[in-house]
Amino acid sequence: MKVRINEMLGFSKIGKQGYRVVTSALATALMAFSVTAGATYLGPSGGMGGGSFYDSAASNESVALVQVRSGSVIDAIRMGYRNNTTGVFRLGTLHGGTGGGETNISLNPGEEISYMTGYYGIYNNIVVITKLYIGTNSGRYFSFGTATGRYFAYVNPDIANVRFAGVIGASGSLLDALGVYFNKR
């Protein structure tokens, strides 16, 4: 069996647009090790278009809301954060466009994002996030878009000691690429 070294390490070539991280057994093990060693981001997976973004909770905040805009693909994502001391809510920047329907995932006290998985593929001649699954530690599960293209997965390797803290990626009128940010508790 032939395995390209870049794919074994967690990279995959997408047309002429370059490389993005995908998961493999070795890449998942390396990512899990890097998270438990300290704060880290995983990804992003997807296309090379759009402007880059990094959206994360401050050290005294927790993720309280995930807002997704979607239709047949993922149009945008936005995070909301709650200050752990004062309870003040802060809404992050919308990453992507205003098309599609809007869904707000409000996290209950003690509830956290445990994984974000999905697909990225070609839509209107550009590589974008086509499908997004979001799961929480309380067993709630959300699904957006259409599963076409290549699969990616970002799973919290140690929910007792590591928390989901935000998203990274690239966006324009759609969500071009998506990754996650984990932080030690």
Q: Which range is least confidently modeled, 17-26, 76-85, 159-168?
A: 17-26
| Matching residue, tokens 């001391």 | 85
Q: Provide the percentage of residues in the chain whose pLDDT is more than 90.
A: 67
The values of phi and psi at residue 121, to 5°, are -165, -175
pLDDT confidence of residue 161: 83
| 30 confidence band (pLDDT: 50, 70, 90) | very low
Does the domain made of 12-184 have the CATH classification 2.100.10.30? yes
Nearest to 103 by CA among 147, 142, 64, 50: 142
Cα 75 to Cα 106: distance, rounded to the nearest angstrom: 19
Q: Where are the domains of the chain?
A: 12-184
| pTM, 2 dp | 0.80
Tally the C-alpha atoms within 13 A of residue 27's C-alpha that lie toward its C-beta: 20
Q: Encode pLDDT of 77-120 as tens digits.
A: 999 999 999 999 999 999 999 999 999 999 999 999 999 999 99
pLDDT confidence of residue 39: 61
Q: Encode pLDDT of 130-152 as tens digits.
A: 999 999 999 999 999 999 999 99
